Amino acid sequence: MTAKIIDGNALSTEVRGQLAERAAALTSVGITPCLAVILVGEDPASAVYVRNKVAACEKAGMISLRDVYAADVEPALVFARIAELNADPSVHGILVQLPLPKHFDSEAILESISPEKDVDGFHAENVGALMQGNPRFIPCTPYGVMKMLESAKVPLKGAEVVIVGRSNIVGKPMAMLLLAQSCTVTICHSQSRDLAFHTRRADILVAAVGRAKMITGDMIKPGATVIDVGINRTAEGKLCGDVDFETAKEVAGVITPVPGGVGPMTITMLLANTLEAAERSLK
Ligand SMILES: Nc1nc2c(c(=O)[nH]1)N[C@@H](CN(C=O)c1ccc(C(=O)N[C@@H](CCC(=O)O)C(=O)O)cc1)CN2
């Protein structure tokens, strides 16, 4: 039997519809949620993600501002723009698209965003709040994964979770969110010995390494839930995940595809965080 597929596009459409209703309610009392997006450089994938974020905002009845800088821009200019956006009460959310060019201190840029407008949840204050089990803004990709697990009614309490990848954007916050739901969490990484030993124990396997098709069917426990966060391009230019979907779907019980899985949910949860920031500004 092949696995049940969690359709990230369909779930996104449903959640974005609900967010649009909340955005309209807020607009009716004089506050239209507004997201400012900063893009530095010409990375084609980043340009696509930013375009999709802006389009999604507009479709949900939110305002979006987009600032695009050349790859060799002086960081001081970007810091100055962030300070301006921090001080603007009509802007509720600010994000800087990652990765930034090498001459940028990415951490300093992320720390310069006001924690109240940090809709990516990357500011140290928001990371700390998540660690303490009191999240204020949840990073969008792990937030989207939690929504997908909820929609597929995957049991979390006591589940063995293995996360492959330890990034600040996905692996670490994902671990905190699942730990908060009483999962037993293992984080694997490039130095982990015998990766398959760990992955085969997982009731829920989250792949977030950035290596095309590295998780194959033989590394998966029969019936497991497999969440693929990877976005890679094959030599032929085709999009694929970190999981070898063809072999994995024959073993897993539930699986997310790439494209059309976690990616669209990342943008959906960005809208959710922006709306949340705007709603908090009323209080
Ligand atoms: N400031 C941030 N930078 C980055 C983040 C982030 O959450 N905040 N995450 C990733 C990229 N990302 C969002 O920015 C992102 C990646 C992929 C998708 C997506 O919808 N993917 C589609 C395929 C799109 C395509 O054709 O390439 C899919 O999987 O179906 C959305 C957002 C790094 N940077």
CA triple 143-145-147, angle to 5 deg: 75
For the chain, percent of residues with pLDDT exceeding 90? 98
Pick from 35, 53, 266, 271 the residue to mutate for probing ligand 1's pocket: most ligand atoms within 8 Å of its CB: 266
Q: What is the arithmetic mean of pLDDT over 96-123?
A: 98
Would you state the pLDDT for residue 275? 98
Smallest CA-to-CA distance from 70 within 46, 40, 50, 100 is with: 40
- For ligand 1, atom 2, name the residue with the nearest CA: 97
Which tokens sit at 1?
Answer: 């039997």
Q: For residue 270, which atom of ligand 1 is closest to its CA?
A: 7
Q: How far apart are the C-alpha atoms of 18 and 193, rounded to whole Å?
A: 44
Q: For residue 235, what pLDDT band results from cuts at 50, 70 and 90?
A: confident
Whether residue 181 has pLDDT greater than 90: yes
Q: How far apart are the C-alpha atoms of 231 and 239, rounded to whole Å?
A: 7
Question: What one-letter code names the amino acid at 63?
Answer: I
Mean pLDDT (the chain) is 97
Q: How far apart are the C-alpha atoms of 50 and 274, rounded to whole Å?
A: 15
- Is 231 known as a binding-site position? yes
- Each residue's pLDDT tens digit, 138-152: 999 999 999 999 999
Active site positions, annotated? 53, 97, 120
Whether residue 241 has pLDDT greater than 90: yes
Would you state the pLDDT for residue 260? 98
Give Cα 183 to chain centroid, integer Å.
Answer: 20
Quick check: 255 and 202 in contact, CB under 8 A?
A: no
Q: How far apart are the C-alpha atoms of 11 and 165, rounded to whole Å?
A: 25
Would you state the pLDDT for residue 249? 98
For the chain, percent of residues with pLDDT exceeding 70? 100
All structural domains of the chain, each given as residue ranges with its CATH number in brackets, are 30-114 (3.40.50.10860), 140-262 (3.40.50.720)
Give Cα 215 to chain centroid, integer Å.
Answer: 20
Q: What is the arithmetic mean of pLDDT over 67-87?
A: 98
Whether residue 1 has pLDDT greater than 90: no
Whether residue 115 has pLDDT greater than 90: yes
**Does residue 49's CB lie within 6 angstroms of at least one atom of ligand 1?**
yes
Q: How far is the CA of 14 from the centre of ligand 1 (A)?
A: 19
Pairing of strands 225-228, 254-255: parallel
- Each residue's pLDDT tens digit, 6-62: 999 999 999 999 999 999 999 999 999 999 999 999 999 999 999 999 999 999 999
Give Cα 166 to chain centroid, integer Å.
Answer: 14
Q: Model pTM?
A: 0.98
- Each residue's pLDDT tens digit, 192-219: 999 999 999 999 999 999 999 999 999 9
Q: What is the arithmetic mean of pLDDT over 124-142?
A: 97
- Each residue's pLDDT tens digit, 78-104: 999 999 999 999 999 999 999 999 999
